Every structure is written in structure tokens, then in C-alpha cells.
Amino acid sequence: MPNTESSINPFETAKQQVDIVADLIGIDGGVREILKHPKRELTVNFPVKMDDGSVKVFTGHRVQYNMARGPTKGGIRYHPGVTLDEVRALAAWMTWKCAVVNIPYGGAKGGVVCDPKHMSKTELEHLTRRYASEIAGIIGPEIDIPAPDVYTDSQTMAWIMDTYSMQKGYSVPGVVTGKPLSLGGSEGRNEATGRGCAYVTREAAKDAGVRIKGGTVAVQGFGNAGSIAAKILYDEQGAKIIAASDSRGGIYKADGLNPHSVEEHKIKTGSVVGFPGAKAVSNEEVLEMKADVLIPAALENVITAKNADKIQAKIVSEAANGPTVPAADSVLHQKKIIVLPDILANAGGVTVSYFEWAQDIQGYYWPLNEVNSRLERVMVQSYNDVHKVAQERKVHHRTAAYVVAIQRVADAMRLRGMYP
């Protein structure tokens, strides 16, 4: 999904969010400064032999933001638009995301500047293994545990796990999460982000007096998280999915779409566009549509100061990372639109990644119903923690989520002290 306001630096946004909360809860200057800087950054330039025999040099990053609460955790994305500031911002958001759902991790993120759509599977394997070998010294089950992100998947994680294990001389399944089940992956991991989003949307709807059963839902970004959130709200809550979109465009149907049928169409054709019986709409129209719930599940900065006043949903549930810029938050809050922020709404993925890591460390694996019930407990408790702060401090849910998260990280830093 294209970034609609590319001039916005995501890391500046992330630092602004820290300042807003630090002012609110009185975090002192030293701790505040630490919270605005990544702990460790590694940039690597590495050669890859392409299918035609040529050698191309790629640039990759890995940023470990904060380790006060445990080893760092975060995905690796393959995208031509990857920048170091984007990776820094995503690592910061992972720090707060892990803290808001109270799992014992700090945040990290990685990225390689490449266009995977124009690379063969062999080329992607070579790139992945070389990148993994370049960052191997700073990843591991007790240090930093990567996971899939944009244009990476369970196969990517399998290659990283194998590369790392070959260097160690024994199998280390806990070095990454989001692996195939046969290599120590967890049941329920693939649908965890969407499922977690559906759980917090359900809880927020109860508090807001919004009916999910028969209520309308628009999904911008019908990828993994967006499509699964739509299917769970449709199957388990009786919601009516009226719109869906991807990078090529969107579809709308007033009496509702079957998200399973839309997904089948997308698998066959590569896009939701052209779904039989649906009207063609733009991504902007999906965002601005009248609906009970809007799920932005694409890339960053799609809800801005320019279009925030056009958002008509009662609940905005952020399945994507950073879809709303800070200037838009105040507009939505004034309109009494509940925004379930990314660090809460899409934290189901990292929660089940934590479950996967815990299972790998134990060598004992849980059935799907246990994974989902544990996920539901974590997401419901986390929503309640955030909602309570929002009510007590009379702030919107994003600020409340950051208050919960940053307070937990700051407390850990204060208790540990400064070494030496």
C-alpha cells in the first residue's frame, strides 16, 4: 500500500509520542532521552549472487531499541522503501507493543532494501542467508528474536533459523518466530495479529455501545492481518464486511462481502479488485466510508491531518503499524472516534510469537485452542489496562496505551539502574 505522506519521518513521529507521554506522566530528562534513542543499530552491505550470475550489493538494517524488560523482538521486512529511520521507528513501536501486552521483551526491527516481487525464490534464499549471517552476532534466543514482516514469511524464518543453527553447530529453533510448524512454529501464529485485532475491537465495541453483530466493517489492506480480522469478526461476531482494499484498489458492497470469498478471489487474481458483485472504490474511499469499524491494515501514514475530518467510523482499529499520524489523533478524538492504537490492536502477532518462543525454549508445544485462549486473555487484559488509563486520565486510547507501555519500560530501567 503506498505511503500517502512520505515526507513524514516515522522516527520523528515515534519520538513525538514519547515526549507526549513523558510530559504527561513526569518522566525525567535522563530516562526520556534514553527512551528516544535505540540501544543498538547495525547496518550491513552484503553481496548476493543473482540467478544471471551477476553480483548485487544489498543494504540491510537491524535496530535493537530497548532491552530493559528482556531480549528484543521484532520483524524483518523486505521492501524497496526500507530506511534506517523507518526501522528505528518500528523498533520503538515494538518496544511499546511488547510492554503494553506485558510480555518480557524489548523491541527490535530489521529490514533489507530490496524488491522481492522481482526476485526469484533462489535469490531471496541467498539474500536471506547472507543477511542472517551478517546479523548473526547480535541475534539469538536470549538477545534478539526476529520474525516475519512485510514481504517475509515462515520460509524466510526457516532460512534464518537454519543459517544461525549451522553457525552454532546445533539446532536453535528459538532464534526466530513465525517458523513453519515442523520447525518449532506455533499453532495459531499465522492468524494471531488479525485475531488479536478482532478481540480488542470486540472489547472496545462493548464499552462504546457499538454493535458488532450486524455492524459494518471496512478494511483497508486485505493482507494477512486485515483479511483475518475481517474473517474472525464475520465468523465469530456476525459483523458485515462492507469494503476491502489492497495496493491495486478497493471493493464495496452495501449488503456485505463474504471475506472468505474475497480472499479466494484475491488468491486467484492477485487482488480484491474485480470481485463479482462489488463496486470498485479507491483506498481513500475505503478509509472515509461510513462504517462502525474501520481497520487500516496497510502501511504507515494513511490517516493524516488532511483526511482525518473525513473519517466516519466509530472505531478505528489499527491492524497496521503507524497508520495514523499524531496530528490526526486529536481530530479523531474531537470527533469522539475511538482509535485502538497499533501497539495494542496488532499486538496479537508478537504475543503468539512470545508463545512460540516459550514453546521452543521448553520443547513443549500447545494445541491451537490453548494458544487462542491464552491470546484472548492477554488481549482482553491489555485492552482493559489501556481503557482504564484512558478513562482515568481523560486521554485518547493511543496516549493511554503509551502511558501503560512507557511507564512499564521506565519502571524496568529505574529498577535496574544505570551500569556501570
Residue 352: phi and psi, rounded to 5, are -75, -25
Please tell me whether residue 306 adopts helix, strand or coil conformation: coil
Helix (H) or strand (E) holding 293: strand 293-296
Residue 182: phi and psi, rounded to 5, are -70, -10
DSSP H helical segments within 50-146, as ranges?
84-100, 121-135
Specify the residue for cell string 496479537: 348
Q: How many CA atoms lie within 13 A of 284 on its CB side?
A: 9
Give the three cell numbers for residue 306.
Answer: 488532511
- Which one of 73, 97, 109, 253 is the catalytic residue? 109
Please say whether the beta carbons of 75 and 21 come within 8 A: no
Residue 112: phi and psi, rounded to 5, are -125, 130
Bridge partners (DSSP) of residue 92 are none
Instruction: Report CA Rg, the chain.
Output: 20
Amino acid at 104: P
| Rounded CA separation 151/114 (Å) | 10
Nearest to 262 by CA among 313, 270, 286: 270
C-alpha 227, offset from chain centre: 14
SS3 breakdown of the chain: % helix, strand, coil, rounded to 5? Answer: 50, 20, 30
Please say whether the beta carbons of 68 and 409 come within 8 A: yes
Is 268 among the catalytic positions?
no
| Rounded CA separation 39/55 (Å) | 33
Bridge partners (DSSP) of residue 47 are 57
Is residue 417 exposed (0-12), middle (13-18) or buried (19+ Cβ within 10 Å)? exposed
Please say whether the beta carbons of 365 and 342 come within 8 A: no
Strand pairing class (240-246; 144-148): unpaired
Residues annotated as catalytic are 109
